Amino acid sequence: MTLQALLVVGAALFGIGVYGALSQQTFVMIMMGLELMLNGAMLAAVAFWAMSSGGAPKGQLLTVIIMTVMAVEAAIGFALIIGIYRIRKADMTEKLKRLRA
């Protein structure tokens, strides 16, 4: 696969993630959009790394770090969503007038 094809796929993932994060109103769909954006950025970074350094294993650490950040972000985000739902009974962003308790 060429670098251009990988970058197009990464940009498409990032674009779909931006659209999903900005157009949706439920918290879960916003989180999914953020995850798609991170996946697109990670694919572009890995594609640049693989095509420029010949596939040396040093660059794989960046992917592992990004995947770890994605897992932590998802866990914290879903914990916040569950907390907001338990307190406010709101599952959509429109129902929240303010975030202070």
What is the token pair recorded at 76? 């914290």
In single-letter form, the type of residue at position 99 comes to L
Domains of the chain, residue spans:
3-95
For 24-75, the pLDDT digits (tens) are: 888 888 888 988 998 998 888 888 888 887 766 666 787 888 889 889 988 9
In the block, tokens 């932590």 appear at 72
User: Residue 84 — pLDDT band, cuts 50, 70, 90?
Assistant: confident
Is the four-CA dihedral 52, 53, 56, 58 of positive or negative sign? Answer: negative
Note the Cα 15 to chain centre separation in Å.
11
Architecture of domain 3-95: Orthogonal Bundle (1.10)
What is the token pair recorded at 32? 């999914």
